[in-house]
Amino acid sequence: MSVDFDSFNSIQLDAIREVGNIGAGNAATALSKLLGRTVDMDVPVAELVSVYEVAQHYGSPEDLACGVLIRADGEFSCNLIFLMYEEEASALADLLISMDLSSMEEEVRLQIRDSALAEVGNIILGAFLNALSSMTGWALPVSVPAVAHDMLGSIMDVVAAMFGIMGDTALLVKTTLKIIDSDTEAKGMVIMVPDPGSLELLLQRLGVL
């Protein structure tokens, strides 16, 4: 299934990208507060693609990845996922936990790390929604975050199957978050898939439709 991007003019595409750019800036600030460290952010790249082509914009299908998923409802309903490579996700979780887990059973360690990753994803995705809310005045209640670990291709197959039911256009925002005074960096991608009609409502609210 393809997305008719010809239906968007350059002003509308720029407005949608601006939402992504502001959201990425908010995410870096929110992550900095969570970690108590300075977080630098590369200039984000925001683009609209088909939800069925998302995997092509991130990495190899065989790469191990971690995804944090939330659902936003209200006046602008959409699904969002924060995607990271597994190794970087683990390093970020360890930085947040700041304690030695080596003496714990593996299942307990994984649960603690998933809890930390859910918090990171929730804060980063929440920052995007807060940017959207500030620009529109909409209240956007969200679901409890869910965490998935698998090969990138498998995660994106599930994302396409789930999100494709609701809508086929995805806003991708890719950037690298670098934690100062640490070797940790996270090359993350936020995927926002608006429900049918939501993107048009957003453009109307932003005054470009």
- In angstroms, the CA 116 to CA 89 distance is 10
Check which CATH number belongs to the domain holding 167 and give it: 3.40.1550.10
Indicate the Cα dihedral angle 104, 106, 109, 115, nearest 10°: -150
- In angstroms, the CA 55 to CA 155 distance is 9
Q: Which amino acid is at 93?
A: A
Would you state the pLDDT for residue 102? 64
Nearest of 134, 101, 124, 103 to residue 19 by alpha carbon: 134
Range of the domain at 183: 5-206
What is the full per-residue pLDDT of the chain (209 aa) written as tens digits? 334 555 678 888 888 888 888 888 888 888 888 888 888 888 788 888 887 777 777 778 889 999 999 999 988 888 899 998 999 888 888 888 876 666 778 788 788 889 999 998 998 899 889 988 998 999 999 999 999 999 988 888 887 777 666 667 788 888 777 887 777 777 788 888 888 888 888 888 988 87
φ, ψ for residue 192 (rounded to 5)? -115, 120
Would you state the pLDDT for residue 163? 67
Q: Check if the beta carbon of residue 83 is closer than 8 Å to that of residue 148.
A: no
Please count the structural domains in the chain: 1
